[in-house]
Amino acid sequence: MIQKTEKKVPRKTPLFPERLRLSEEELSKRRSEDEAFALRCREIFWRVYPELVKEYYNWFIHIEPNSGDYFIDPDEEVSFQKAREKHPTADVMAMRLNETGTCGKI
């Protein structure tokens, strides 16, 4: 017979507290990687923006910066699925073909 021992854990206590804290070096590394990723995506966006905005205004665009591929559709989910078909594991950035490139309210 297996003996169960119950341990009382206070509410809202993290299960793995050692995973909560990242070092400052790791945080700054992740921030700089995110900024570099966004910069590469925005460069592609502003390069293709003038030719696409006239015909596809307010459509969604998903950009994969490593290959330079982009996928557009009026439906965000369809655009994302197009990106996933070609690049199943890559990070993609969602933008919108409008004056600011934002997808929603901030």
Q: pLDDT digits over 6-43, tens only?
A: 777 778 777 776 666 778 898 899 999 999 999 999 99
Q: Is residue 19 part of a domain?
A: no
pLDDT tens for 36-68 read 999 999 999 999 999 999 999 999 999 999 999
* Alpha-carbon span 82 to 102, nearest angstrom: 20
Residue 55 included in any domain: yes
Decide if 10 contacts 62 (C-beta within 8 A).
no
* Domain of 37, in residue numbers: 27-96
In a domain, 103, yes or no: no
Query: Is the residue at 16 inside a domain?
Result: no
Number of domains in the chain: 1
In whole angstroms, what is the distance from residue 69 CA to residue 36 CA?
17
In a domain, 8, yes or no: no
